[in-house]
Chain A
Amino acid sequence: MISFEDVTVTYHDAERPAISGVDLRVHEGELCVVVGRTGSGKSTLLAAVNGLVPHFTGGQLRGRVLVAGRDTRTNPPRELADVVGMVGQDPVAGFVTDGVEEELAYSMESIGLPAPVMRRRVEETLDLLGLADLRDRALATLSGGQQQRVAIGAALTAHPRILVLDEPTSALDPGAAEEVLAALHRLVHDLGITVLMAEHRLERVAQFADRVIWLPGRGAAPVVGGVGEVLARSPVAPPVVRLAGVAGWHPPAVSVRDARRLAGPLRERLHGIAPPTDPPATGGAGDGRLVARGVVVRYSGAAAVRGVDLRVAAGERVALMGRNGSGKSSLLWALQGSGRRHGGEVLVGADDPAALKPGQRRRAIGLVPQQPTDLLFRETVRAECEQADAETGAARGTTSALLERIVPGVDGRAHPRDLSEGQRLALALAVTLAATPTVLLLDEPTRGLDYPAKTALATVLRELADAGTAVVLATHDVEFVAEYATRVVLLADGEVIADGPVAEVVTSSPVFAPQVAKVLAPARWLTVAQVEHALKAAP
């Protein structure tokens, strides 16, 4: 269905090719997942399928890409619109119209299908993806999961034989991600559509994949093969595959179901060993570095945060979870004091941050926003670091030293926009930390990070907390929470519905449970590292 014949892509002014020696075939009805670290060329590989590379992006493509028998050399993306449906990383950026129905019809209109056919397909697609109740809604008013499903539906109505998706679930909460993946699974099994997708959150998608294409990066040729065997060798692997490595299962399990079947002996070996527990979360007892009482935030009349109480002690690592739109971001901004707060009180030490001047406020409490680039505005990393030093009155070189500690080896001359997601986050974090705030808030920091980058972030945040900073982060990433946080606060509809130690909160709900917990239930193991440690210590 898709065939790459010895393809090498080199962008203008690039030192080395983005991908090289790609020689692979994706067969009809297959679901292939492209994995690799950030910057390994996943997006390039995907965009080469419908000819966006090189027709749209520029650069040079050597070799040949055949899609359903058509050569992308002579067929630009628009002429391939009837065979390849493309869903980009940010569904909102790709919306052309502003209504659900019009968006679904857009590709068909471009292809020139007759009106009765369009009408029928729109209805079918609305049902297939569970969008029928949303048909008259404006796209801007939908939730993230709904928008992603509309984007997939809009690609599907043209009846493409191939669907290409770039990180379809990375911005979604666990529930919405399941929704989207269930829809994709159905497309592959019911309609025989060929799916090629890239995803960082492998714990969500690995079980659905038929094969995996691993891009080792630095222009090395991709490794293609069965899901378990390839992931076991790659640095990006979901917890269940890493657990298989620790437990010595061959071939490695890729789904929780397979792993549970194999895990009998492992559960026995771990029997009698208590999972390590973090130092008991103070949960508001003792001195609260950050104390919030009855915080209310409203947007045009509707309450986004309804009376949240929160106490965070120095050194605590709190994860704020909840579905998209549950009020996590609004709460963080209200706590920091730069966002709106319509009721309640917030104290950092003895001060209300909202009453402080912004310059003093950031010394008390720092926030890394969801888009780290919003914080950055200089042309080079070095200028950005110097700017941060000047703003905070820190000694020259403080920020760049911080950056070097968080992520070593960032080129000071590079433009912040050209950095990888992880480096950009690190820069925004370094800029925020230059003011040495006693409380650090982070909004969705793991978005777009691969597993090694997430581990690095966890290490940095843990060191900060150990040094006495109170850290609160909002995230959808259950695996990251399991690995990093000491306490979870669950929000729903602007209210706190659960607040407690990680092991208690995440294991009590299947949606928020990490893979290791699912495999080893009822024992409360959360991470591969915990299991590995326990096995080594055990005789």
Chain B
Amino acid sequence: MLAEIGLVSLALAFIAALYAIPASVMGARVERTAWVVSGRNAALLTFPLLLIAALALMAALVGEHYEIAYVWQTTNPSTPLFYRITALWGSQQGSLLFWCVIMGAFAAAALAFNWRAYQRLMPYVIAYTMATLAFFIGLTLLLENPFARYWVSLEGTLITGVIQPAGALPIAADQWVQPDGTLVFAVNAPNADAVPLMTRLGQTANGLNPLLRHFGMIIHPPMLYLGFTGMVIPFAFAMAALASGDLSTNWIKATRRWNLTAWLFLSLGLILGGRWAYDVLGWGGYWGWDPVENAAFLPWLIGTAFIHSVMIQEKRGMLKVWNMFLVIFTFSAVIFGTFATRSGLVDSVHSFAQSAIGVPMFAFWAIMTLISVGLILYRWQRGDLKDETHRTGILSRETLFVLNNVVFVALTLAIFWGSFGAPILSELFMGTDITLGVEYFNAVTPPLFLILYLLMGIAPLSAWGAMSVGRLGRALVVPAALTVACLVVMVIFGTRLPAALVGYGAVLLAGFVAIYETARGAWARRRATGEALLAASLGIFARNRRRYGGFIVHLGISVIGIGVIGSTLYQQETQRTLNVGGSLTLGDYTVRYDGLDAGQIAEDGRVMDIANLTVLRDGAEVAQIRPRHDLFPGDGAMNSMNIAGAHSTLETDVYVLLVGWDTDAAPGRESATFKVYVNPLINLVWWGGLVLILGTLISVAPQDSLPSRVRAQVTGTKRAGAAA
């Protein structure tokens, strides 16, 4: 029954999304409001329908309906309830459905919040969001259906199908499996060794991939999907502006929050993905320039460029065509990233299995990109996208923002080339596959990131329109002096690598500019209003959340930069086999092995072998850590995983993996082999991520357009009028 509910809901959502497209566009063309409203209602209906489908699948996962192939593939009887729920996005079909639900939610929210303010744009917004949604629902329904079930053929074998194949029977209580695997039909058990088919399905079920049983991996996909699908909304508004001819800044105003919200989720998804890799993959790092990681990073990079460049259009009426291209390529990168991850195009630890959705996804990506570029060219040749201002100084903020955009785009192209361009083109045109390893990314990206950090430091100090060298230099004096002072302290304390000093210099400058500009704003407000410093500081955030939230984001990115430089350039590693009581020293830390707790059984049935270690610094015990090896029920070798033990401080992570032990020794006396990493400053990557999130939340929060005093007066007048 759950499969039927899910299937019908999914099919109805598909029909509703398809109907909404012509209804809204035709309504706009022939100016029939009722048609547009009908299209909107159909679009709004897709979300509850998709939610019902997702809830049906979730109920099947929780209720152990192993006759549904997806449930069998992603759970088994020992899977805890929490992971049964998260299995909804644990594999291709379920995660596609989940993608659709989130997309439906974004579309419904965009329609609900923007309907009245941007009526001219809305028919086309409906058309673009529903076209994207219909495509993904179609994929889910026709090619990767999560409601496909097992059926019993007349020959007594299991076959998979979404609808009942001719002659096949649904799985029922009167079907029994003999020990030799043969299927018999009987009301009662034919013999003592026979088990009901439903029970047998549970016994043979796969269970969730152990690598996915981690907090970061549970929350990382939803965050990425929220980021990906959220980027569809700015794209839809931009295309609506092109299609409707309303090329004012309306579409930018309408999408600023959607864009920032999507960017926030994408940032969160990337940070959590890094944290998952660090905790679970056991190589002491968090970013490996894997094609799938890069596929998620590309929309973030272009989206960041877009966030900066729309400010130029708002302030100066410039870069109209450029902004359109950026929003299209952000959407394009989202669809391409989804395609690359799900099609089997690339080999990656993160990718899904090879699947039939590759060709349609590529076709959809190409068609949407071509239509969008075609619309831009149409409006451009008509002269509808002319900039309102042409003149600008070479050191003006808009010039520096353009430079920032150029570097972001260069980074995007370089990473795309390394991940996809070179391998695909070499195979197409040279008959051989050339791949670019980590060395490529390590050579290309650091100089570009360095320029970005420098621009992040300089651009906020510049002014719109024009800026003299002298004025910019004077504005830079305090942050630059603070940066130099920090670098001197670093050199005194032993940081000597030129690459590290150059990197820290750029990152610190960006961070100090963010702090300095915020402090300057607070001081200026204090002088102007006489408020206390704290009140003035809060006041500037209330007055201009976008600007000062942006500085907090910059600060977060700077903190991340410090963490990346420290953990990349100063990572230390070693491995050694230790007897109980033995120790090894790495950097400032000593790790002592105190014994092994072998064969511990966890609640979910996994068998854990846990090493007890003491971390010492300067002879003093600072922490007890317990790296372990987990073996999950089932006989597959990949049913096991290494969980690192870590002693984390803001300064350093001591990260230890238990990689082997002597199983023949007396219990508790086993020698064991450890791989140990010391990762300086790595926790700043996660803390910087939190600061970035805080800054984005401040930027995205609604801002009162009128001061509270004026608002109170207006409200009072209205009330008085109403009372009269």
A is bound by B: no
